[in-house]
């Protein structure tokens, strides 16, 4: 398996523009997570899905952020409009979520977002 | 959510054992203890996890205190490739993790 795939790997955009980050989880995994990492705040859980349904979005910072999972093999995290304080590395992770698994989360390589 | 406390940084000489401590005094009976590490410019990766008993795998060992209020990740022979930030995380009956600040491990050749 190729692991969790994220695109783009780097994104530079201007303030006010819409940004869409993409994630393909590992095939067969039923949980998908979006995280954000900054020097100031560390690694934060933004939202997670189970079987394509959002379960907990309490970590989403504000209404400018939205996430979707239209099917089991694809998810997006959108920021509209983007602001400089959104600059961070965004990670997607997936896992199997049943009692016989370790709930081990497999992380993608991340998308480094810079908003100027 | 239960919190964990780890030292900000630690150093180890190459090929020596490393003991990375973690305090989790508010742990509940159903919380699992997970350890992840993050190598430079990469996403976190799973290291080991446990509930009550000590655990061993090919990467490391996990020693859990009898009262479960603390745990220690043991790397038996540190290599330069083990230089990373190590996170101690408590997972409740749900499936979400809350990462703390972790311990930055420096391995000295």
Average pLDDT over residues B65-90: 96
Q: Tell me, what's the pLDDT at B54?
A: 92
Q: In what order do the strands lie in the sheet with B103-108?
A: B9-13, B103-108, B84-91, B32-38, B45-50
Whether residue B102 lies within 8 A of chain A, CB to CB, comes out as yes
Mean model confidence pLDDT for chain A: 93
Average pLDDT over residues A49-56: 93
**How many other CB atoms sit within 10 Å of the CB of residue B63?**
16
Chain A residues within an 8 Å CB radius of B43: 4, 91, 93, 107-110
Chain A residue with Cα closest to B32: A102
Q: Least CB-CB distance to B97: which of A45, A50, A102?
A: A45
8 Å CB contact of A31 and B95 = yes
A67-113: per-residue pLDDT in tens? 999 999 999 999 999 999 999 999 999 998 765 556 789 999 999 99
Whether residue A26 lies within 8 A of chain B, CB to CB, comes out as no
- The percent of residues in chain A predicted with pLDDT above 90, rounded, is 84
Chain B residues within an 8 Å CB radius of A48: 95-96
B34-66: per-residue pLDDT in tens? 999 999 999 999 999 999 999 999 989 999 999
Average pLDDT over residues B15-19: 96
């Amino acid at each position: 398996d190729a692991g969790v795939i994220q695109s783009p790997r780097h994104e530079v955009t201007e303030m006010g523009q819409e940004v869409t980050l993409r994630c393909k989880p590992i095939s067969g995994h039923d949980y998908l997570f979006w995280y954000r990492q900054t020097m100031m705040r560390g690694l934060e859980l933004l939202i997670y899905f189970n079987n394509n349904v959002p379960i907990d979005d309490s970590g989403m910072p504000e209404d400018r952020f939205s996430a979707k999972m239209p099917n089991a093999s694809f998810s997006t995290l959108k920021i509209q409009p983007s602001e400089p304080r959104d600059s961070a590395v965004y990670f997607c992770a997936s896992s199997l979520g049943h009692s016989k698994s370790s709930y081990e989360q497999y992380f993608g390589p991340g998308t480094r977002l810079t908003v100027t | 959510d239960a919190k964990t406390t780890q030292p900000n940084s630690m150093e180890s000489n190459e090929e020596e054992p490393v003991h990375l401590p973690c305090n989790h005094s508010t742990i509940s009976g159903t919380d699992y203890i997970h350890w992840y590490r993050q190598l430079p410019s990469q996403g976190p990766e799973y290291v080991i996890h446990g509930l009550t008993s000590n655990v061993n795998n090919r990467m490391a060992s996990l020693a859990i205190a009898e009262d479960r209020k603390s745990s220690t990740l043991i790397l038996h022979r540190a290599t330069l490739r083990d230089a990373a930030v190590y996170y101690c995380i408590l997972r409740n009956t749900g499936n979400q993790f809350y990462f703390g600040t972790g311990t930055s491990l420096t391995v000295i050749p």
